[in-house]
Chain A
Amino acid sequence: MMRMRARTEDILPFALLLPSVIYLGLLILIPMIQALLLAVQADNGTFTTEFVDRMTGDVNFSDAWRNTLLLLVLIVPLQIVLALAMALLIHSRFRGHGIFLYIYAIPLAISDLAAGILWLSIFTERGYLNTVGQGVGLIQTPPVYLSFENFGGLLAAIVIAESWRATAIVMVILVAGLQLIPRDYFEAADLFGANRIRRTIHVVLPLLRPSLQSALIIRTIFAFQTFAVVLALAGRNLPVIAAEAYNWYANNRNAHLAASYALLLLALTIAFTVVYLRVLGLREAEVKRA
């Protein structure tokens, strides 16, 4: 009887995991492997580098690569800093901090394409920005921000729109992280006479590192996938890797090339995640202490 119970309890966790494993296997793992094969396998089943070669030789490839990294470098640090400021503001629990939380969280409810179109209606030649500018007499003739000749303008518009759209998710993670820090630490810091800034640097930031790490990983993955906002604001002018994958699949009906781009995205995402885990990862000693 005892042995029986032991065996059941050994098996039970696996049995409980089984449905989700089957689910992930059927709907995530198998399609993923199929997608990988698409990138390296021709229609007749032979393995080939044709698609990867075509991808690297494509007119937009080097631009897509450059723009994706450029957006990553511009957007992620900006968002982390903004989100940290927002999270600290909310965490300070001043009167009415709840309202800020709601306002900050609004973009979370909006799809990325909708956000892109929203910002397009602001930045376009006859958009809200120029209309208001003209209305108050700031500008005479409306400038064109989203011109193909104006790479800086396009980039700035995308960075602003993306930061507006996706900073909230980082903030939510950081607010949750802040709430996990025991009050005792703050009291101890106060006791030793630390001011707000010192408290933030020496107590909050180190203890927030696990949340920062998750936020960075999630944001970086999202930044690689940035796509609808770019399409809405820049059209074909600012190719990024995710948009190329979409274009090759949806518009050009070439699943092989789309898969090659997806493979590239996967490789980049894995590389960055490994770097984050190494650099920001909790060392074993810290885990034990915690």
Chain B
Amino acid sequence: MRQSSGLRALGIAGALAILLTACSTTGAPTGGGAPTGPTATDPGKSFVFASTQFSPVTEQEAMRKKILANWNGASVEFITDQEPVIIDRITVESKAGGTGQIGIVGLENGQFGSLVAANYLNDVAKVTTRNADKKINSDMLTLGKFGGSTQLYVPWMQATYFLAANKKALQYLPTGADVNALTYDQLIAWAKNIYDKTGQKRFGWPVGTNGLIHRLLQGYWYPSFTGGLVTSYKSADAVAMWGKIKELWQYSNPQSTTYAFMQEPLQSEEVWVAIDHAARLINVLKAKPDDFIAAPAPAGPKGRYYMSVVIGLGIPKTTPNQSGAENLIDYLLKPETQITTLRENSFFPVTDVQMPADLDKGLKLEADAVAKQAGSKDAKVVPLPVGLGAKGGDFNTAILNTFQRIVVKGEDIQTVLNEQAAIINKVMTDANAKCWGPDGTSTGPCQVK
């Protein structure tokens, strides 16, 4: 009897042990890596490359099978997930101490904020120095320092937002308007003209749940009309701008509140004209390059402001293979890798590379629009919000709610601006974020004037 109860206890203990091991073993990375530290011939431990970019399955496959095809360093497991998931995972690995599994991380400039604030990233200046011959865009390198002196990420690739239009819409352009040098007034007249002539509302906004409307307001509308973003949030110029947005909204497809990626309504022709992120327009441009044009974003009274999206590569302090991750950055910055990245996944190089002549038609449209936008006489570039860290979400929400209240719900412009400005001021104070981009510089937190 004694023996049998002992056996039972043993069985239970065994079951528990299995359960606990199951809990503690997380998916082992694929491929083998030597257990000891890296040497000249030994690529070292395998690691995870976590990225918020390339989340569509086809892009992931392109990354694993084509962009990383010639990589012969340590075994790399490329995974993509949403920003919060990756940030949480790095946070957890950092809090757990020792080395984690994520060896390198690819995020948008703005997504690095909370990792920078928590001091979870290694200095990567060594990598930028040894890649100096590749002429990495110097503005982007500065962005990667987050106002300090440490290089916290190496620019990897870039994107921007521009206008895409169905050629069917071109006949309704207001007289005298050049589609490559539009103003916002002309854009409104264009949408109105389409509505007057066809009875259809064919301008579209990405106001759906994963839409990037807040970026269009932060990097395009606000600076183009007010010359600022935070400082001029409730200025007279801002009131006038919201009036214009409401005007355009009248001629916009009322389904805009369900649109996340403008390429979809553009392809189904629910929308003829839209402004969105390059990666959210590329499918329609690749699918129907002869039916569409791509053009610079419009200009407002203060200039043709556009937003530059920089994707960077950072190395967490918990990386299992520091030199392996550094070598991977070298590889991704090679001219041929940068071109493969453009061809496969439509993100533009950050280094000085020669564009190949046989580029896909849709990509060619994008590349031309990007070049025209940056080369416009009145062009001015804006970065993604800087220094907000974990408060970035609150800032976006304040702007989204402003749009929701003024445009969708039709509340009084000045009242809403005053109320939302108070929220923005609190976000800026909480984050202790100094002014950036069009707002100039400030000594304390950036505040609405």
| Chain A positions near chain B (C-beta within 8 angstroms) | 1, 4-5, 8, 12, 15-16, 18-19, 22-23, 26, 59, 120, 124-126, 141, 144, 146-150, 231-237, 243, 247-254
Asked if A250 and B84 make an inter-chain contact with CB atoms under 8 angstroms apart, the answer reads yes
Q: How far is the CA of A185 from the CA of B404 in the complex (A)?
A: 59
Q: How far is the CA of A249 from the CA of B259 in the complex (A)?
A: 21
Asked if B255 and A231 make an inter-chain contact with CB atoms under 8 angstroms apart, the answer reads no
Q: How far is the CB of B30 from chain A (nearest CB, A)?
A: 26
Chain B hits for A22, CB < 8 A? 16, 19
Asked if B254 and A148 make an inter-chain contact with CB atoms under 8 angstroms apart, the answer reads yes
Do A237 and B258 contact each other (CB < 8 Å), given the known contacts A4-B1, A12-B8, A252-B394? Answer: yes
Closest partner residue, chain A, to B13 (CB atom): A15
Asked if A253 and B1 make an inter-chain contact with CB atoms under 8 angstroms apart, the answer reads no
Q: Which of A12, A16, A124, A236 has the most B CB atoms < 10 Å from its CB?
A: A236
* B377-415 interface (Cβ within 8 A of A): 390, 392-394, 396-397, 400-401, 404-405, 408
| Chain B positions near chain A (C-beta within 8 angstroms) | 1-2, 5, 8-9, 12, 15-16, 19, 23, 82-84, 87, 114, 199-200, 207-211, 253-260, 268-270, 390, 392-394, 396-397, 400-401, 404-405, 408
6 contacts between A and B (CB under 8 A): A8-B8, A12-B8, A19-B16, A231-B209, A233-B258, A250-B82
Q: How far is the CB of A203 from chain B (nearest CB, A)?
A: 45
Asked if A144 and B258 make an inter-chain contact with CB atoms under 8 angstroms apart, the answer reads no
Q: How far is the CA of A234 from the CA of B210 in the complex (A)?
A: 12
Asked if B392 and A253 make an inter-chain contact with CB atoms under 8 angstroms apart, the answer reads yes
Asked if A124 and B270 make an inter-chain contact with CB atoms under 8 angstroms apart, the answer reads yes
Other-chain contact of A234, B257, B390, B404 (Cβ < 8 Å): B257
Asked if B257 and A251 make an inter-chain contact with CB atoms under 8 angstroms apart, the answer reads no
Q: How far is the CA of A251 from the CA of B269 in the complex (A)?
A: 29
Q: How far is the CA of A250 from the CA of B84 in the complex (A)?
A: 6
Chain B hits for A12, CB < 8 A? 8
Q: How far is the CA of A250 from the CA of B199 in the complex (A)?
A: 38
Q: How far is the CA of A235 from the CA of B200 in the complex (A)?
A: 21
Q: How far is the CB of B388 from chain A (nearest CB, A)?
A: 10
17 extra A-B contacts, CB within 8 A, seeds A4-B1, A8-B8, A19-B19: A8-B1, A15-B8, A15-B12, A22-B16, A23-B19, A26-B23, A59-B401, A59-B404, A124-B258, A124-B270, A125-B253, A144-B253, A144-B255, A237-B257, A251-B393, A251-B396, A253-B87
Asked if A235 and B16 make an inter-chain contact with CB atoms under 8 angstroms apart, the answer reads no
Q: How far is the CA of A141 from the CA of B268 in the complex (A)?
A: 15
Q: How far is the CA of A150 from the CA of B254 in the complex (A)?
A: 9
Asked if B270 and A125 make an inter-chain contact with CB atoms under 8 angstroms apart, the answer reads yes
Asked if B255 and A236 make an inter-chain contact with CB atoms under 8 angstroms apart, the answer reads no
| Main SS at interface, chain B | helix
Q: How far is the CB of B205 from chain A (nearest CB, A)?
A: 11
Q: How far is the CA of A252 from the CA of B87 in the complex (A)?
A: 13
Chain A hits for B19, CB < 8 A? 19, 22-23
Q: How far is the CB of B408 from chain A (nearest CB, A)?
A: 6
Asked if B396 and A235 make an inter-chain contact with CB atoms under 8 angstroms apart, the answer reads no
Asked if A247 and B255 make an inter-chain contact with CB atoms under 8 angstroms apart, the answer reads no
Chain B hits for A149, CB < 8 A? 254
Asked if B1 and A236 make an inter-chain contact with CB atoms under 8 angstroms apart, the answer reads no
Q: How far is the CA of A85 from the CA of B210 in the complex (A)?
A: 38
Other-chain contact of A120, B82, B84, B200, B258 (Cβ < 8 Å): B258
Chain B hits for A253, CB < 8 A? 83-84, 87, 114, 390, 392-394
Q: How far is the CA of A18 from the CA of B20 in the complex (A)?
A: 13
Other-chain contact of B255, A59, A141, A146, A251 (Cβ < 8 Å): A146
Closest partner residue, chain A, to B249 (CB atom): A148
Asked if A144 and B254 make an inter-chain contact with CB atoms under 8 angstroms apart, the answer reads yes
Q: How far is the CB of A89 from chain B (nearest CB, A)?
A: 35
Q: How far is the CA of A251 from the CA of B111 in the complex (A)?
A: 11
Closest partner residue, chain B, to A43 (CB atom): B390
Closest partner residue, chain B, to A233 (CB atom): B258
Q: How far is the CA of A285 from the CA of B114 in the complex (A)?
A: 60
Q: How far is the CA of A4 from the CA of B83 in the complex (A)?
A: 57
- Nearest 3 A/B pairs, CB to CB: A252-B393, A147-B254, A253-B393
Q: Which of A144, A237, A250 has the most B CB atoms < 10 Å from its CB?
A: A237
Closest partner residue, chain A, to B392 (CB atom): A253
Asked if B255 and A124 make an inter-chain contact with CB atoms under 8 angstroms apart, the answer reads yes
Q: How far is the CA of A59 from the CA of B409 in the complex (A)?
A: 11
Chain A hits for B12, CB < 8 A? 15-16, 18-19
Q: How far is the CB of B152 from chain A (nearest CB, A)?
A: 19
Other-chain contact of B207, A150, A232, A235 (Cβ < 8 Å): A235
Asked if B257 and A125 make an inter-chain contact with CB atoms under 8 angstroms apart, the answer reads no
Chain A hits for B390, CB < 8 A? 253
Q: How far is the CA of A232 from the CA of B200 in the complex (A)?
A: 23
Q: How far is the CA of A120 from the CA of B130 in the complex (A)?
A: 50
Chain B hits for A125, CB < 8 A? 253, 255, 268, 270
Chain B hits for A232, CB < 8 A? 258
Closest partner residue, chain B, to A12 (CB atom): B8
Q: How far is the CA of A15 from the CA of B396 in the complex (A)?
A: 51
Chain B hits for A19, CB < 8 A? 12, 15-16, 19
Other-chain contact of B405, A1, A59, A248 (Cβ < 8 Å): A59
Q: How far is the CB of B20 from chain A (nearest CB, A)?
A: 9
Chain B hits for A26, CB < 8 A? 23
Q: How far is the CB of A156 from chain B (nearest CB, A)?
A: 15
Chain B hits for A231, CB < 8 A? 209
Asked if A1 and B1 make an inter-chain contact with CB atoms under 8 angstroms apart, the answer reads yes
Other-chain contact of B209, A126, A235, A249 (Cβ < 8 Å): A235
Q: How far is the CA of A22 from the CA of B260 in the complex (A)?
A: 42
Chain B hits for A250, CB < 8 A? 82, 84
Q: How far is the CA of A104 from the CA of B222 in the complex (A)?
A: 51
Chain B hits for A124, CB < 8 A? 255, 258, 268, 270
Closest partner residue, chain B, to A238 (CB atom): B257
Asked if B269 and A126 make an inter-chain contact with CB atoms under 8 angstroms apart, the answer reads yes
